[in-house]
Amino acid sequence: MRQIVLDTETTGLEAERGHRIIEIGCVELVNRRASGRHFHRYLNPERDIDQGACAVHGITRERLLQAPKFADIAEELFSFLGGSELIIHNAPFDLGFIDMELTLLAKMRGGAGPLPAGVRSVCLVLDTLSLARERHPGQRNNLDALCKRYGIDNSHRELHGALLDARILADVYLAMTGGQSLLALDGAARERSGAARFTAAAASVRPAEPLRVIEATAEELAAHAELAALLQKASGGDCLWMKLEQQAVAGCQPPGAARIHRP
């Protein structure tokens, strides 16, 4: 199974208002393990960057003047993404920007050519924000909160960055969906691990011993009857305990014959 953890940084929050992608980072997972392959590009957005966005990621327009445009890297990007499942935190945001870039590129070229009309036409998408909200309703589920919840070290994350955040999200996703420790085992190791768990489970079974049965004393039976009568009165004749005793009598067990079973 091939998955790509993807993140973007942008000039602002709304693609519909002309904001553009300025950084895209992707990390490849194969069978839930990092393959070591990644895709990372800074992009020239050909427009200003909102101050609020710059405060989040620290990327200035001047830094991007010599960077390639989306059109320059689009085919390489989709060659990397093709056929994978994308893992994205708040997927509608990132997909909205990539799809808008594809729309702009198609208009510029007079047609999309070899590129898809939208990301979902070539990739499955898993939104980790939706997944986190299902698993942790009513709690904060941004990336920092999830790192804290799952013990992921993000102390080196002073500013947002697409590749950095994709790497952190990969760790969060694996932790949130069961980790990868067993996947690191080869077949023989899995057999040894399974045998060890079976041995431990067998050792935890208590040996069979005669069961000691202690009968209630006359004083205990009298106290029980007195309390049951009070409960019967207080409940308007609907005391569950009394009903159980009546069933016990019907089943030929001596009334009030409470027993304590001790190993």
pLDDT per position as a tens digit, 134-149: 999 999 999 999 999 9
pLDDT per position as a tens digit, 41-57: 999 999 999 999 999 99
Q: Is pLDDT above 50 for 167?
A: yes
Which residues touch 196 (CB under 8 Å, ≥6 apart)?
none
| Residues with catalytic function | 160
Q: Which of 33-37, 194-198, 242-246 has the lowest mean pLDDT?
A: 194-198
CATH of domain 2-184: 3.30.420.10
Q: SS3 for 216?
A: coil
Contact yes or no for 158/6 (Cβ under 8 A): no
Q: Which of 66-75, 160-169, 202-211 has the lowest mean pLDDT?
A: 202-211
108 or 132, which is more confident? 132
Residue 192: what pLDDT?
41
Query: Quick one: tokens of 106?
Result: 């198609």
The beta strands (E) that lie in 186-258 are given as 212-215
Residue 33 CB coordination number (10 Å): 13
233-255 average pLDDT score: 65
The beta strands (E) that lie in the chain are given as 2-10, 21-30, 33-42, 85-88, 124-127, 212-215, 259-262
Residue 228: what pLDDT?
78
Which residues touch 14 (CB under 8 Å, ≥6 apart)?
none
Q: SS3 for 11?
A: coil
200-209 average pLDDT score: 43
Contact yes or no for 25/161 (Cβ under 8 A): yes
- Every domain of the chain and the residues it spans: 2-184, 212-262
Residue 222: what pLDDT?
84
Residue 172: what pLDDT?
97
Q: Is pLDDT above 70 for 250?
A: no
Name the pLDDT band for 246 (thresholds 50, 70, 90).
confident
pLDDT per position as a tens digit, 7-30: 999 999 999 999 999 999 999 999
Long-range contacts (CB closer than 8 Å, 24 or more residues apart) made by 46-52: 46/20, 47/11, 47/18, 47/19, 47/20, 48/11, 49/11, 49/12, 49/22, 50/11, 50/12, 50/13, 50/19, 52/12
Contact yes or no for 23/9 (Cβ under 8 A): yes
Name the pLDDT band for 262 (thresholds 50, 70, 90).
very low
Q: SS3 for 37?
A: strand
Residue 263: what pLDDT?
44
